[in-house]
Structure 1
Amino acid sequence: MDATALLLSRFQFGFTISFHIIFPAFTIGLAAWLTILEAMHLRTGRPVYQALFEFWLKVFGVAFGMGVVSGLVMAFQFGTNWSVLSKMSGPIQGPLLSYETFTAFMLEASFFGVLVFGRKRVSPWFYLLSTAMVSLGTTLSAFWIMSNNSWMQVPVGYVIRNGYFVPNDWKEIIFNSVVWSRFPHMLLAAYLTGAFCVAATGAWYTLRGEYYAESRVMLRMGLFLAALLIPIQLAFGHLVGDYVHKYQPAKFAAIEGRWHDEQPASEVLIGLPDPATESNRYEVKVPILGSVIASMSLTSKELGLADFRPQDRPPVLIPFLMFRIMVGCGLIMLAVAWLGSYLSIKRRLRRSRLVLWAIFLSFPLPYIAIITGWYVAEIGRQPWVIYGLLRTADAMTPFLTAPAAMTSLLLFGAVYIFIFSFGAFYIYRLLRAGPTRLAVRPPHSASPNRPMSLAGSS
């Protein structure tokens, strides 16, 4: 095994998944919001909802296309860099990925065409149904990916025959017990991503004095949804922590920065893990809280990393720091959503420019939280690619050389940067152009030089 090729392959996979996950996280939440907008338009007849639907549909189309293109590379890597993993787990992972194609992609591709070309060609109820089917397709895609990844995290429903992982209980594999905490956690993260992007766009237009009615709807709907979902997300995050505590104790100890057994256990709030001394520098910790978080007990004994062989421990620094960044982003989003929602209810939000700036600048937070959360999940389970069964070093393609790995990494990086640059620029142009139904300015709005929507009079 070429250690450099292994490192480059791991870096390549981390880079591509970090890039790719941006787009599904956005489009899953945005597809659900498009469904709500279309339903509200049919129910109320207000032009503002249709204007917003048509506006965000363009953004969705660009992001969806970028997600498809960047996702193709993920599948290629299993064959080029991780062929041993593909060979051994193919009887399980192959069908799971094909189920995503047969269900999610078929729904998305078929009904997305209706959204783009069919508004004047189909009845309103069928158009709404098509929007809902696209949303369902994105949700099913997330489910199959999470089902696949959850099997790698907690393998169940299989037997080993001639070196292959062969399924013997598909129900247990697909409906793995950990899926029911991990899938809602990811789905809620996607909804929050959509909510904050929508609210941030509304804040941007408000700060610029543009699109009064549209920005008001985006702010209220985005902030209210986020304010409602973040506490639920925090609860599911705790459930995800419960599965890690039960099935992946080494990862849990790394996240906590706990080197030695403690009873009761403290909770390390901040610090700098030092593997050489098996201790944390500059740590600040709270006594007993670690036992409360891990086991809902004041006296429980919690394991430390010293209980595991050094070769079986994950790299401590990354999951430790990434987890705290993820939680920090969640708490900041909670504060922004609740404060913004409160001011919106009091009809003071549009005059609070500082809060509007905070809402606008908050749109990267859900992306950061999702990416750091994935780092915790994936790097934290090292050195295993299939937890407890197949090590990452043993899953790499035999005889893969460092030059070959470097070449593919550079090519993927160049292609991704090219795609992202043009895609991001085009989305910016769409956001800059704004909704297209422009005419009437509502009273007491911003600068008279700014265009306002016909929907503003509703």
Structure 2
Amino acid sequence: MEFDSVMLSRMLTTLTLAFHIIFATIGVGVPVLISIAEFIGIKKNDPHYTLLARRWTRGFTITVAIGVVTGTCIGLQLSLLWPSFMRIAGQAIALPLFMETFAFFFEAIFLGIYLYTWERFKNPMYHWFLSIPVIIGSSLSAFFITTVNAFMNTPQGFELVDGVIKTVDPIQAMFNPATPTKTFHVLVTAYLASAFVLAMIAAFQMLKGNITDYTKKALHLTVTSAFLFAILTGVAGDLSAKFLAEHQPEKLAALEWHFETEKGADLILFGTLDEESQKIKYAIHLPKMLSFLAHNDVNAEVTGLNEFPKDETAPLYVHYLFDFKVTFAAFMTLVASLFVVFSRWRREWVHNQWLLRAIVLCGPLSIISIELGWILAEIGRQPWILRGYMKVTEAATTSNGVGAMLWLFLGLYIMLGVICTVVLRKMFINNPAEAELEYRFKD
């Protein structure tokens, strides 16, 4: 099968983003869990929590290193694969791209200090304080890069004359209408996914029979944190729906297979669609809930997809992706809620085999949900790369070398994935927590 340069550019960008987002998510969320664990360890004088922070920090540095490489690849590919987009939007997004780099350097400096100053202070709180700038740096890095994506959805702050930017207000471009909801959503879902990834590790160890005070405390900390972040994720999802209803109604309509403008619109879950007749079968209809989700009013009017030109709306399979994402989010919220309820009122059920298996499952589901979220963000904006100004087909390179680049970067990511896996296994599998605990705190 032959692919043109546009499709090859999309495939390579998708590959890079899909790989990078795993490490970027962990890079944003894990510092928060590290800081919480160390703080509890200091306040309770509990070596288990302190060891959790130390071990998570060591693993975190490996993921940061991989994230640096893949992040650099994204910057390179923006210029190589999407030159027309960068020619128009480059001036508007230069500020957040620079600030993202600055935030990363800020994080990296304090991460190095944090990593090499364990037990160097008489008061351990001074060491804990060093975790705060790491959190700030990683979260700001995610914030600034997400504003670029937000700008692509609701571009503003520039004047385009004959395809050339004449005036630019970079602050207005960065703080566009999509920025608040998108950045909030990205941050809380990164915290949630990281909590479940760490919870997965603890639950897996317990399923193998390694039920110790260390694994129990790791599980309790991570799943309780996941419960709190799941609530915030629900809030972020609600705010995102209201943003779409106001600023990207065609995207919301595509996600929900809502074709006709009407008041009291139903929320549609699952089902199958005949695109010719726009008939939906086997779906679950929640009466008037789409109106409520979009406007906080069950009788509010929701704009239908038929109000927009067909060549300016997203492919309708995004509905299935949205269903999967919502289902996974609901499952993770349920699992975290059950754990919190059991830990308070039915402690003997907390380490139930089925609950532990569900927590293990939440690890990969949380990362898949992150991937689905970014796919929905990009596919849901189609056919635009810069909504209202430039389509994807107009932005891609016309070079013939993209196919070779695709194979080259695929090989690079496979190599990085293998290296990361091998290093983490050697770092932790051959160095069990119990042995390290005995060594470090034997006195």
TM over 0.5, shorter chain: yes
Aligned residues of 1:213 and 1:455 also touching (Cα < 8 A)? no
Provide the residue aligned with 1:332 in structure 2: 331
Q: Deviations over 1:325-366 (max 9, x none)?
A: 111111000111011122223322454111112112221111
Runs of 4+ in structure 1 off by over 6 angstroms are 454-457
Provide the residue aligned with 1:348 in structure 2: 348
1:121 shift after superposition = 4.7
Instruction: Give the distance between the partners of 2:308 and 2:162, measured in 1 at CA.
Output: 29
Task: Tell me, yes or no, if structure 1 residue 23 matches structure 2 residue 23.
Answer: yes
Instruction: Give the distance between the partners of 2:108 and 2:17, measured in 1 at CA.
Output: 22
Unpaired segments ≥5 residues, structure 1: 440-451
Counterpart mapping for 1:142-221 below 5 A: 142-161=142-161, 163-165=163-165, 168-210=168-210, 212-221=212-221
Q: Deviations over 1:273-296 (max 9, x none)?
A: 343443334433233222222222
Amino acid at match of 2:141: S
Provide the residue aligned with 2:421 in structure 1: 424
Aligned residues of 1:51 and 1:437 also touching (Cα < 8 A)? no
Provide the residue aligned with 1:248 in structure 2: 248
Q: 1:82 to 1:113 in 2, by over 3 A?
A: same
Amino acid at match of 2:273: P
What is the alpha-carbon root mean square deviation over aligned residues? 2.4
Aligned residues of 1:250 and 1:305 also touching (Cα < 8 A)? yes
Aligned residues of 1:192 and 1:229 also touching (Cα < 8 A)? yes
Amino acid at match of 1:169: D
Q: Deviations over 1:358-401 (max 9, x none)?
A: 1122211111111111111110001111111111111112x323
**3-state DSSP class of the match of 1:21?**
helix
Amino acid at match of 2:6: L
Provide the residue aligned with 1:388 in structure 2: 388
Counterpart mapping for 1:372-387 below 5 A: 372-387=372-387
Q: How many residues align?
A: 439
Amino acid at match of 1:74: I
Q: 1:351 to 1:139 in 2, by over 3 A?
A: closer
Provide the residue aligned with 2:283 in structure 1: 283
Instruction: Give the distance between the partners of 2:356 and 2:441, measured in 1 at CA.
Output: 20
Instruction: Give the distance between the partners of 1:74 and 1:273, measured in 2 at CA.
Output: 35
Provide the residue aligned with 1:446 in structure 2: none
Aligned residues of 2:93 and 2:173 also touching (Cα < 8 A)? no
Provide the residue aligned with 1:448 in structure 2: none
Counterpart mapping for 1:98-117 below 5 A: 98-102=98-102, 104-117=103-116
Amino acid at match of 1:147: T
Aligned residues of 2:26 and 2:194 also touching (Cα < 8 A)? yes
The more displaced of 346-355 and 187-196 is 346-355
Amino acid at match of 1:330: A
Instruction: Give the distance between the partners of 2:440 and 2:326, measured in 1 at CA.
Output: 39
Q: Deviations over 1:228-258 (max 9, x none)?
A: 2212211111101111111111111100112
Aligned residues of 1:226 and 1:337 also touching (Cα < 8 A)? yes
**3-state DSSP class of the match of 2:262?**
coil
Aligned residues of 1:55 and 1:434 also touching (Cα < 8 A)? no
Q: Deviations over 1:26-46 (max 9, x none)?
A: 121111111122222333332
Instruction: Give the distance between the partners of 1:57 and 1:211, measured in 2 at CA.
Output: 22
Q: 1:195 to 1:383 in 2, by over 3 A?
A: same
Q: 1:167 to 1:181 in 2, by over 3 A?
A: farther
Provide the residue aligned with 1:410 in structure 2: 407
The more displaced of 192-201 and 376-385 is 192-201
1:10 shift after superposition = 1.0
Aligned residues of 1:214 and 1:453 also touching (Cα < 8 A)? no
Provide the residue aligned with 2:316 in structure 1: 316
Provide the residue aligned with 2:138 in structure 1: 138
The more displaced of 409-418 and 427-436 is 427-436
Q: 1:23 to 1:384 in 2, by over 3 A?
A: same
1:137 shift after superposition = 0.9
Instruction: Give the distance between the partners of 1:85 and 1:381, measured in 2 at CA.
Output: 15
The more displaced of 268-277 and 368-377 is 268-277
Q: Deviations over 1:399-437 (max 9, x none)?
A: 323xx2211111111111121122123324444345545
Amino acid at match of 1:371: E
The more displaced of 201-210 and 119-128 is 119-128
Aligned residues of 1:46 and 1:455 also touching (Cα < 8 A)? no
Instruction: Give the distance between the partners of 1:429 and 1:125, measured in 2 at CA.
Output: 30
Aligned residues of 2:91 and 2:168 also touching (Cα < 8 A)? no
Unpaired segments ≥5 residues, structure 2: none
Instruction: Give the distance between the partners of 1:28 and 1:270, measured in 2 at CA.
Output: 32
Q: 1:40 to 1:288 in 2, by over 3 A?
A: closer
Amino acid at match of 2:422: F
> Percent identity between the aligned chains?
28
Aligned residues of 2:339 and 2:350 also touching (Cα < 8 A)? no
**3-state DSSP class of the match of 1:260?**
coil
Task: Tell me, yes or no, if structure 1 residue 230 matches structure 2 residue 230.
Answer: yes
Amino acid at match of 1:181: T
Aligned residues of 1:55 and 1:435 also touching (Cα < 8 A)? no
